[in-house]
Chain A
């Protein structure tokens, strides 16, 4: 009795077949589990420091005065920069930047101290490497925090020397101080900013290509699709049975990586967890159906996988994390809009660090839902048309066969 019930066509039969099939293909199983997890572990290790501190810079001290030494001490004391080397001359410092030993060179000119107290406004020059933009800006942040602090001390003494009361002098140092608050990521932690966005982008590549591959193999032998449909007892149960085993696997991979992000790296969850889960599910489903659609439209499977790679592997740039979508031209903005990852990252940022109010959180989730419905609809349409084609071919072949037979 039990065996018969198990063999009844329907969703579960296709689901079980797929799991059996996956068990017999260790490569595919590894590709959807071990490969993304290992890459995520690697990326997590890279960014584990969270903040880039004590970046090495060189100092060229031509003054060797109390003032220049105190500036060097202050630059070394900021969290961003560390004075790693003393350069003997400008060319030496330049060479150290070229060979990548240091990220910048601070030059303290001759007679610095004398000129400062004579009111001649000498220049302290900081050369920094902006070829590596973020790193260069970090070193600049360190130096431009330290040098004005040193200058402030001088200004204070210049004023009190002129007989100004100390409170008034202090207020005059910075007439319009800006109290800057970094909303949502006060420590400017790279784990919350970059790593939290890289991991889903990586999953997007794996999900799209793996889906194209697993379905492509079924498409390549024509009768396989018919068998699947018969096993499922209809189009929709067959599709669900084919797709959902992978959904479960990918959700587990996403869950594991999120467990590390939230549990160990302490990514805040200021929004709603359930909304994040819904977004994750819709993101994975939309990537899966995108992959399936590619497999149905492009033959052989290799082409489907190639196109999937072409679309998803440069996707990170289009999703607007490093360079925001705000600054992109129309093409890049538009392409970003048709990537599921763009909307998932928006939803993720909303629900993790931003804690966006509920009524403003729905847009990316509704877009993802539209993707799932749209891609799944297109998959169904394509399957129906392939079936109609096959039926017509068979109908055309039958009379021809009869004629050919004596």
Chain B
């Protein structure tokens, strides 16, 4: 036990003594915390500019345009004479949608005929497309229902029945957990977990690959720590470090950026233990494979970010090929992003993330075991040296 503590103390000291490690773990953590969320801070896309091509030019068509402009999603910035000139503006990225109101729009509507309008929405950016098509469709439906109800009342139908006939069964959509549909609320909880993994992987990888400063001064008195003590002591050091960084990322930052959190603190911290252990284990394995600190840095820089897309966050797990999904479970973030998000954002009890929790413990044991075997091997006396010594 004393040896575990010795290793723990030495390793913890190395985090602050080795400049590259300090830069990654401490400076990197601080930098990402401020820098990464910047693109998403506005949460929602508002007032996406579109153009209107009004072939009708009547009071009803102008009223429709005005009501579309009044939504928070869309702003009508241009009124153009024809579709061709409007298309050029789309190519130039000045506008992201074209609403064409055909001639006789008002006449058809007032005569009780279906009076279609055409929307061309830019689908090269999906969020833009969603905003424009959602906004226009909602306005057209409301205006349409009003027109229909007014007409029914006009021919003498009871107003209550008229409304029922135009909308007999309402669909109420209740968004859960992220009611505003904010983009930061969506992407940041998962991204913070990925950043934690990336920073810890890089830090531990560097600690494993860099030659350390000579450890404790009394090292000569007692025999060097055994393989188990070495692994346990190091893990303890990383756990202590993450006891500061992880709550900062998963509790303080979400609070600071105004992200809703439904889950309690305790389940999050319990879930964090196997996450930190498995990531640390993976970091030490990466260090053992690549040995050179620069190689560790380069490889982790390249592979760290694509892990985000494995987690079923940006792209549903159900449509990821099963073999790829199985392989992706070897990376802690795949289970951790899902687990942490459900615990914190959805307020799920620990029992609901049992599968992810057990998977992370499994990974912690798996990578910890590999590191332990590597330590045992490292200690085995090198045969060549022995032979030279005998000679």
Is B160 a contact partner of A310 (Cβ separation < 8 A)?
no
Asked if A176 and B38 make an inter-chain contact with CB atoms under 8 angstroms apart, the answer reads no
CB–CB A175/B118 < 8 A = no
Q: Which of B40, B45, B116, B167 contacts A317 (CB 8 A)?
A: B40
Question: Is A326 touching B48 in the complex (CB atoms < 8 A)?
Answer: yes
Residues of A within 8 A of B181 (CB): 130, 133, 137
Give chain B residues whose Cβ lies under 8 Å from the Cβ of A134. 126, 314-315
Complex Cα gap A209–B20 (Å): 16
With beta carbons under 8 angstroms apart, the residue of B148, B293, B318 that contacts A55 is B318
B176 x A302 contact (CB < 8 A) = no
* A209 cross-chain contacts in B, Cβ below 8 A: 297-298, 301-302
| One of B292, B320, B346 near A97 (C-beta < 8 A) | B346
Which positions 222-243 of chain A face chain B at CB distance < 8 Å? none
In the complex, chain B residues 114-160 whose Cβ is within 8 Å of any chain A Cβ: 114-130, 133, 136-137, 140-141, 143-145, 147-148, 151, 157, 160
Q: Is the CB of A336 within 8 A of B39?
A: yes
Number of A interface residues, CB 8 Å? Answer: 121
Measured CB to CB, the closest approach of chain A to B347, in angstroms, equals: 8
Asked if B266 is at the interface of the complex by the 8 Å CB criterion, the answer is no
- CA distance in complex: A134, B297 (Å): 32
Q: Which chain A residues lie closer than 8 Å to B125 at the CB level?
A: 193, 320-321, 324
Contact present for B297 and A124 (CB under 8 Å)? no
Q: Mark A112-141, 1 if CB is under 8 A from B, else 0.
A: 100010011111111111111111110010
Contact indicator per residue, chain B 263-297, by CB within 8 Å of chain A (1) or not (0): 00000000000000000000000000010111101
B169 x A213 contact (CB < 8 A): no
- Chain A residues near B (Cβ < 8 Å): 27, 31, 35-36, 39, 42-43, 45-49, 51-56, 95, 97-100, 103, 112, 116, 119-137, 140, 143-144, 147-148, 150-151, 154-155, 158-159, 162, 168, 170-186, 188, 190, 193-194, 198, 202, 205-206, 209-210, 213, 301-303, 305-306, 308-310, 312-314, 316-318, 320-329, 331-332, 335-336, 349-350, 353-354, 356-357, 360
Residues of chain B touching chain A, judged by Cβ–Cβ distance below 8 Å, are: 20, 23-24, 28, 31-32, 35-36, 38-42, 44-46, 48, 64, 88, 90-92, 96, 109, 112-130, 133, 136-137, 140-141, 143-145, 147-148, 151, 157, 160-161, 163-179, 181, 183, 185-187, 189, 198, 290, 292-295, 297-299, 301-306, 309-310, 312-316, 318-321, 324, 338, 341-342, 345-349, 352-353
* 18 CB-based A-B contacts, threshold 8 Å: A39-B302, A46-B309, A46-B310, A49-B321, A51-B319, A136-B178, A171-B113, A171-B114, A172-B112, A172-B148, A172-B166, A175-B143, A178-B119, A198-B306, A305-B294, A310-B28, A313-B305, A327-B45
